[in-house]
Amino acid sequence: DTEVTQTPKHLVMGMTNKKSLKCEQHMGHRAMYWYKQKAKKPPELMFVYSYEKLSINESVPSRFSPECPNSSLLNLHLHALQPEDSALYLCASSQEEAGTQATQYFGPGTRLLVL
Amino acid sequence: GNSVTQMEGPVTLSEEAFLTINCTYTATGYPSLFWYVQYPGEGLQLLLKATKADDKGSNKGFEATYRKETTSFHLEKGSVQVSDSAVYFCAMDTGRRALTFGSGTRLQVQP
């Protein structure tokens, strides 16, 4: 089973709202990722969690706040977003293997529209 | 720096035609290489991968061979179907655990 699930599938929010995106995997993977994908562009890395600790933050604005409550769950808390933050948000996970490159498996994404 | 370069799209083919999507990379060390496919309105699906030179990844009739001498990982399929219409991303991982993606190539297969 190589499934990563994401909820919600679609989200519309105003600039003053607070919302959260959720990602879940049950493959025993210890690394989890958030990517942002704008239309007709490749995904751009936002955050990496390794063993439930934040290991990479690609200079993402503080209005995006990640959280990894346990090894299977990854959340992205959203607050005071701008219309240009509208995009497809993808979660991924991989087996954490020290010193090797591990395959990342992606979820279906949450399509976010900020009004 | 590390980078992945893919051929520009869209690529438009008739059903049963031969497909090649070119991908070359620039990296220090020995990256793992991947092809991901994204169908309209969906997330990315791993199509195939190769972790060392001369490895051939294959899945669903698609193939790609890791060529260290030409730093390439071209995607091929002998006979495409309408259902293969999607965006294909070449990607590499140099061990930093952050994937470097190419710009993506849109494939349109006409019946």
pLDDT for B8 equals 83
**Residues of A with Cβ-Cβ distance to B94 under 8 angstroms:** 101
pLDDT over 90 at B74, yes or no = yes
B31 touches A at CB < 8 Å: yes
| pLDDT for position A102 | 80
Quick one: which H or E segment has residue A92?
A: strand A87-94
Chain A residues with CB under 8 Å of B45 CB are 106
Mean per-residue pLDDT pooled into runs of 10, chain A (115 residues)? 89 94 94 94 93 92 96 96 96 78 90 96
The reply to whether residue A48 touches residue B98, judged by beta carbons under 8 angstroms, is: yes
Count residue pairs from A and B with Cβ separation < 8 A. 61
% of chain B beyond a pLDDT of 90: 81
Cβ distance A6 to B43 less than 8 Å, yes or no, reads yes
Q: Which two tokens stand for residue A82?
A: 């701008």
Question: Is B6 in contact with B18 (CB distance < 8 Å)?
Answer: no
d(CA B108, CA B80): 10
Q: Do B43 and A99 touch (CB under 8 A)?
A: no
Of A41, A90, A101, the CB nearest to B44: A90
Instruction: Name the residue in chain A with its Cα closest to that of B34.
Output: A103
Nearest CA in chain A to B97: A101
Q: Give the Cα separation of B44 and B46 in Å (integer).
A: 7
Q: C-alpha distances in angstroms, A88 versus A48, B44, B86? A: 17, 11, 16
Phi, psi of A110 (to 5 degrees): -115, 125
Show Cβ contacts of residue B40 under 8 Å, excluding neighbours closer than 6 positions.
B86
What is the pLDDT confidence band of residue B83, given thresholds at 50, 70 and 90? very high
CA dist list (Å): B1 to A69, B12, B28: 34, 32, 8
